[in-house]
Amino acid sequence: MKLALVCLLAALGTTSATAATQKATGTVVDARGLDGCTYLIRLDDGQTLEANVPAEYQVDGLPVTITYTPVDGASICMAGEMVDLKSIKKAPVKRGVGQVVDARGLDGCTYLIRLDNGKTLEADIPEDYRVNGLRVAVTYLPAPGMSICMAGEIVKLTSIGRAE
């Protein structure tokens, strides 16, 4: 009887007494095609979290900012770390227009986007847009991390298109 209770509690997940609340940005992922899964959150660093995503945020590809606490336990889904979601909100998408700059001559750089407002963005620019001087319109989210290039703000592009 005690063993069954211990197994049940482990399966449900309990917040670790030493777990600190963490803040991150990521994207909601519809994982209903996987056995036992619903919606997951894929963090910008690539880590996948299993959480009870509220219905209004259950949109595949939705960029979100979250706070969470890791929990001990196991799930049927087994696609990521189980967490207790403390808060979730739609991440603010930024927009801009500018031009692609070939910065391969600078240490650690590839292509950058120099916006018309003077801000420089470091992003993974799709191959079709890696043309020096090409005018582009972008939407983006700030992305955590550091780069070797250190020539601008590190961002995750959510869309890119040609601009006139």
- 32-86 pLDDT, tens per residue? 999 999 999 999 888 999 999 999 999 988 889 999 999 998 889 999 999 999 9
CATH number of 20-90: 2.40.50.500
61: burial class by Cβ within 10 Å (0-12, 13-18, 19+)? exposed
pLDDT band of 108, cuts 50, 70, 90: very high
How distant, in Å, are the alpha carbons of 44, 76, 95, 105, 137 from that of 161? 22, 40, 12, 25, 5
Judged against a pLDDT cut of 90, whether residue 99 lies above it is answered with: yes
pTM of the model: 0.58
20-90 and 94-162 in the same fold? yes
Output the pLDDT for position 18.
57
Domain 94-162, classified CATH 2.40.50.500, yes or no? yes
Between CA 52 and CA 68 the distance in angstroms is 11
Q: 155: helix, coil or strand?
A: strand
The residue ranges of DSSP E strands in 47-133, in sequence order, are 48-50, 63-72, 81-90, 94-102, 111-115, 120-122
Task: Please name the residue that has the structure tokens 């482990």.
Answer: 10
Query: Which residues 6+ apart lie within 8 Å of 101 measured at CB?
Result: 111, 112, 113, 114, 120, 132, 133
Between CA 83 and CA 81 the distance in angstroms is 6
CB neighbour burial string for 115-139, b if at least 16 within 10 angstroms, e if fewer = beeeeebbbebeeebeeeebebebe
User: Which tens digits make up the pLDDT trace of 58-70?
Assistant: 998 888 999 999 9
The domain limits of the chain are 20-90, 94-162
Higher pLDDT, 6 or 62: 62
